[in-house]
Amino acid sequence: MIAPAKPDLVTVNIDGKEIAVPKGTNVIEAARLVNVDVPHYCYHPKLSIVGNCRMCLIEMGMPAVDPSTKAAIMDPATGKQKINWIPRPQIGCGTNVSPGLHVKTLSPMVKDAREGVMEFLLINHPLDCPICDQAGECKLQEQATGYGRGYSRFIEQKNVKPKRTQLGPRVTLDDERCILCSRCIRFSKEIVKDDVLGFVDRGSYSTLTCYPGKKLENNYSLNTVDICPVGALTSSDFRFKMRVWFLKQTNAIDTESSVGANTVVWSREGVIYRITPRRNDDVNDTWLADSARVLFKAVKASDRLTAIKINGTDGALDVAVNAAAELFKSNSAPGAIAVVGSGRSSVEEQFLTRKLADALKASTQLVSRVGQGDQLLISADRNPNVRGALVTGLITALPFGELTGLGAQIDAGKVKVIVAINEDLAAAGLTSAQLTKVSVVYLGSHFNASSAAAKVVLPTLSPFEKSGTFVNQQFRIQKFFKAVPGPVGATDDLMVLAKLVTAAAGLTLPAEINALWKVIAAEVPALGTMAFANLPETGLLLDATPFAALPFAEGETLHYKPAQPAVAAATA
């Protein structure tokens, strides 16, 4: 018998390789750790185990002991303890490791079992891969190639089942392709608690259905498309738009709220086609809200800012920066300039914003964006990076309500210039009368009342067109990367901010992110040991204790419990 390495670890033997795995691990996950693939359909690491597809069949055995003396029975041929192999295959997903468990995944019995399961799964499958959107990321396709027998013996008629059913506004179902794994049903029931899917007419005609009169329309419905191992559930939006193998994958972060769900942005030749979740067991598991998946539509929106404007006329970047510098110079009285930073800017941008504010001796504020959390992956704070502004020192108190304080200062004639970074001052509570009393320098990606009123407009990039970091509600700093180039006429925010800092203080700061991080690491103690390139893909937790007393807006969400009860979302 193999002795357990640690009390909570169990040593098992998979295809001759020994590995210690935590108690409660199933054979699929244990095998993954020794790079052995146990093909499966119905098993999903974040859902309950049902064991209904039978694809994960393995052969298993336990070390032999004498029933009466409990002494190990040795195999004279090998000199090792004999293994009693169970004469029938077992499912790997539903088998948890036990000390000394032996597993074969390559034996003839397993090969036969897999071929048999694949043959049955394909009997009624339409085999319409050439017109199926899942092709290229289909488990059935991959595992038919990897573990199937390669030809069909089925000469009868295939079942006919409903095609192109709209399960809800965003999900389309092809029942003929469904292999009845029930992942989508379990997801709806267990994760979103919206139990509307089920199998009716069980038997040869088992059909996945949404309860008549109901719709699969919760804000997480597209996760069923992600986890459907075949092309049965497809995204109505992405359907027939692009073959997945043509798409480039870029890691990114959901900017919808302070949860910071990890995402992958899929693009080709500068065009984004879809956004899917990226697994992070400490943040979003394998899920992503539907609303997070449409954010890329803003990239190609018609209200993008693409022309640098100085007093309403087009100009070059340096001319615009000089115009801003003039404004700064002629309003050098302390407090005459205010900087409105953004909780949607990256840590790097917020750092440069702080540098700019310091150089201008300007007051700084953030725009608060508080809504209802959904207790899953959308938190009450709809700014992705308020904590970044705290960490970089751009702000010391949480943004609250509208910019009424700033409005009063404008009315009192104190504030003459506002540098607004990707925030619409009108939407944040300043009246149009107040806006006419100040000169606005506007940096942002889209048109709004502030960009219309601004003296200087500096078009910048959307989050999909630049790289950076956000600090989420857990104080986890996470990286996102540029997926597509920005439109002609827009400049990287870091470049614009660095130029403004130079114009305001004569100080040169790098606009390239890796170089900038050297400066950040030197100046921001909390980030002192870090470099952009070295941040892990799943993020790094920062020390939250300096901010523990702040009344953050977030309530409980997946993998997040507020330190203190959330203050009621008083400010909508």
Please report, as ranges, the residues that interact with ligand FES according to CB under 6 A: 40-43, 51-56, 91-93
Q: Is 566 in the site for ligand SF4 (CB under 6 A)?
A: no
What is the 3-class SS of 396-438, one letter each residue?
CCCCCCCCHHHHHHHHCCCCCEEEEECCCCCCCCCCHHHHHHC
Q: What are phi and psi of 337, to 5 degrees?
A: -115, 140
Q: Which range touches other proteins (CB under 8 A), out of 1-9, 166-174, 202-210, 306-314?
A: 202-210
Pair of tokens at residue 320: 């615009």
> Nearest approach, Cβ of 209 to ligand FES (angstroms)?
21
Nearest to 243 by CA among 142, 144, 137: 137
How far apart (Å, rounded) are the C-alpha atoms in residues 234 and 511?
41
* CB atoms near residue 289 (< 10 Å): 24
Nearer to ligand FES, 106 or 307 (CB): 106
- Rounded Cα gap, residues 473 and 385, in angstroms: 8
Residues that contact other proteins, how many (by CB under 8 A)? 15
Q: Is 11 helix (H, G, I), strand (E, B) or coil?
A: strand
CB of 176 to other proteins, least distance (A): 18
Our finding on whether 190 is near other proteins (CB under 8 A) is: no
Residues 485, 497: Cα–Cα separation, whole Å:
19
**Residue 195 in the binding site for other proteins (CB under 8 A):** yes
Taken as a whole, the chain contains a residue count of: 572
Of residues 42 and 367, the one with the C-beta less far from ligand FES: 42
Six token digits for residue 35: 């790079």
Are 382 and 355 contacting, i.e. CB atoms less than 8 angstroms apart?
Answer: no
Choose among ligand FES, ligand SF4, other proteins, none what residue 43 binds, the Cβ cut-off being 5 to 8 Å by kind. Answer: ligand FES
Stretch that binds ligand SF4, among 176-184, 289-297, 431-439, 513-521 (CB under 6 A): 176-184
Q: Which of 178, 441, 498, 542 binds ligand SF4 (CB under 6 A)?
A: 178
Q: In angstroms, rounded to a whole number, what is the distance separating the alpha carbons of residues 321 and 324? A: 5
Which residue in the set 85, 147, 199, 481 belongs to the binding site for other proteins (CB under 8 A)?
199
SS3 label, residue 126: coil
How big is the site for ligand SF4, counted in residues (CB under 6 A)?
A: 13
**202 touches other proteins (CB under 8 A):** yes
CB of 200 to other proteins, least distance (A): 4
Query: Shortest Cβ distance from residue 202 to other proteins (Å)?
Result: 4
Q: Does 181 bind ligand SF4 (CB under 6 A)?
A: yes
Tell whether residue 221 is a contact of other proteins (CB under 8 A).
Answer: no
Selection from other proteins, ligand SF4, ligand FES, none that 91 binds (CB < 5 to 8 A by kind) is ligand FES
Using CA atoms, how far apart are residues 186 and 180, in angstroms rounded to an integer? 12
| 281: its two tokens | 């067991």
Residue-wise DSSP of 181-230: --HHHHIIIIIS----EEEES-STT-EEEEPTT----STTTHHHHHH-SS
Of 21, 97, 122, 228, the one binding ligand SF4 (CB under 6 A) is 228
Q: Nearest distance from residue 213's CB to other proteins, in Å? A: 9
| Contact map string, positions 183 to 202, toward ligand SF4, x by CB under 6 A | xx------------------
Helix (H) or strand (E) holding 62, with range, is strand 57-63
- Name the binder of 200 from ligand FES, ligand SF4, other proteins, none, CB < 5-8 A by kind: other proteins
Q: Does 233 sit near ligand SF4 (CB under 6 A)?
A: yes
Please identify, among the stretches 34-42, 191-199, 285-293, 458-466, the one whose residues bind other proteins according to the rule CB under 8 A. 191-199
Quick count: other Cβ atoms within 10 Å of Cβ 245? 8
**Distance in Å, CB of 181 to other proteins, minimum:** 15
DSSP labels for 140-166?
HHHHHHHHS-SS----SPPP----SEE
**Tokens linked to 205:** 């005609």
Select the residue interacting with other proteins from 8, 145, 211, 335 (CB under 8 A): 211
Of residues 241, 129, 115, the one with CA closest to residue 174: 129
Q: Which two tokens stand for residue 7?
A: 């009390």
| Binds 203: which of ligand FES, other proteins, ligand SF4, none (CB < 5-8 Å by kind) | other proteins
Which option in other proteins, ligand FES, ligand SF4, none does residue 55 bind, with CB closer than 5 to 8 A by kind?
Answer: ligand FES
Give yes or no for residue 47 binding ligand SF4 (CB under 6 A). no
The reply on whether position 395 binds other proteins by CB under 8 A is no
Specify the residue for token string 């950040």.
520
The conformation of residue 479, written as its DSSP 8-state character, comes to: E
359 binds ligand SF4 (CB under 6 A): no
By the rule CB under 6 A, 360 interacts with ligand SF4: no
Contact positions vs other proteins (CB under 8 A): 189, 195-203, 209-212, 214
Contact positions vs ligand SF4 (CB under 6 A): 178-184, 208, 228-230, 232-233
